[in-house]
């Protein structure tokens, strides 16, 4: 039952990771597994070889919390592979409703992550402001182009996974900026394993390296770091705003006309539906938090 719950949390993380603007790290943070995730990933290092040599594979598996990682990443994989095609369809047919739903998710995440800030000192306030400005500036950048080579896909994997484990900044959002989001989404739908495995290789390298730095920052500057991450969430609202006007288009690697430069505009329709979808998204975060708290309390009673 314990690892079934972890699997479900992984499914929620996977769903968030394929949404531009929503972070799987935010879901991990909300569901109370973020610290455990970083610790388990950081346990995968060269010292593990010594553990294998002296104590065997079982000891090494326990050291990295293998069942936890296996359950979590299985859930993420299930979610990404099953939802990618459905998400692509919804973004094409009901963009305002989908982006409104995402908008509500992020607003609720701001409340949740923000309340983890223990002290609103000068460093926390500046961190929040700079985090928000950084994400807005990045969101104003046009897509850098299509991913035309496996080498570029590998680099995108390294960069995206670093964002995906940060509560507040979306790896899918960075893939949009890098011009690789549609390429990765299409590869998942078409089961293009060359692109998928290359991206995964980059993601593994990025995950193992960046997680160590992130854990160190959280251990030594947690309050300021959480403030910066909250700023990331605030800034991402600019990119997720549902109503946009396309200023310039381009032809992607599949010969399709796609938006290249967009700017936010005032709501010009579907306002009622957008509010409903945003409310549902907003509510889901607190439902997830409530379920996670109930499960955590139940686990403490049994331990």
Domain that holds residue 295: 2-302
Which contacts of 50-55 are long-range, i.e. CB under 8 A and separated by 24 or more positions?
A: none
As a whole number, mean pLDDT of residues 77-86 equals 81
- pLDDT for 294 equals 74
Say yes or no to pLDDT of 49 above 90: no
Question: Which one is predicted more confidently, 67 or 190?
Answer: 67
Q: Cα(33)–Cα(220) distance, rounded to whole angstroms?
A: 19
- The per-residue pLDDT for 165 is 76
pLDDT at 253 over 60: no
Burial 191-214 (b: 16+ CB within 10 A, else e): eeeebbebbbebbeebbeebbeeb
pLDDT tens-digit profile of 101-156? 888 888 888 888 888 899 999 999 999 999 999 888 877 776 555 566 788 889 88
Tally of domains within the chain: 1
Strand partners, 245: 263
Residues in the chain, total? 303
Give which of 11, 27, 182 is closest to 106, Cα–Cα. 27
How many other CB atoms are found less than 10 A from the CB of residue 67?
Answer: 13
Reference 173, options 160, 185, 187; nearest CA is: 160
Exposure string over 87-102, b if 16+ CB within 10 A, otherwise e: bbeebeeeebbbbbbb
């Amino acid at each position: 039952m314990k690892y079934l719950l972890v699997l479900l949390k992984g499914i929620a993380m996977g769903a968030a990771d394929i949404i531009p603007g929503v972070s799987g790290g935010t879901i991990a943070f909300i569901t109370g597994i973020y610290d455990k995730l970083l610790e388990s990933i950081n346990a995968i290092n060269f010292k593990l070889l010594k553990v294998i040599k002296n104590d065997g594979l079982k000891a090494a598996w326990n050291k990295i919390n293998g069942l936890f990682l296996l359950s979590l990443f299985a859930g993420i994989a299930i979610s990404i592979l099953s939802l990618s095609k459905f998400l692509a369809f919804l973004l094409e047919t009901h963009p305002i409703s989908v982006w409104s739903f995402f908008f509500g998710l992020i607003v609720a995440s701001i409340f949740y992550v923000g309340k983890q800030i223990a002290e609103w000192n000068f460093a926390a306030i500046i961190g929040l402001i700079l985090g928000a400005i950084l994400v807005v500036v990045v969101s104003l950048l046009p897509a850098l182009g299509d991913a035309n080579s496996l080498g570029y896909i590998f680099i995108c994997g390294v960069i995206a996974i670093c964002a995906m484990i940060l509560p507040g900044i979306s790896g899918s959002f960075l893939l949009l900026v890098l011009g690789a989001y549609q390429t990765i989404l299409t590869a998942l739908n078409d089961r293009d394993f060359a692109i998928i495995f290359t991206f995964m290789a980059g993601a593994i390298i990025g995950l193992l390296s960046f997680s160590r730095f992130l854990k160190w920052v959280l251990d030594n500057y947690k309050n300021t770091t959480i403030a910066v991450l909250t700023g990331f969430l605030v800034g991402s609202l600019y990119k997720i705003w549902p109503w946009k006007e396309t200023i310039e288009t381009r032809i992607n690697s599949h010969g399709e006309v796609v938006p290249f430069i967009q700017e936010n505009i005032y709501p010009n329709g579907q306002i009622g539906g957008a509010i409903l979808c945003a409310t549902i998204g907003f509510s889901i975060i607190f439902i997830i938090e409530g379920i996670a708290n109930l499960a955590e309390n139940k686990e403490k009673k049994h331990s």
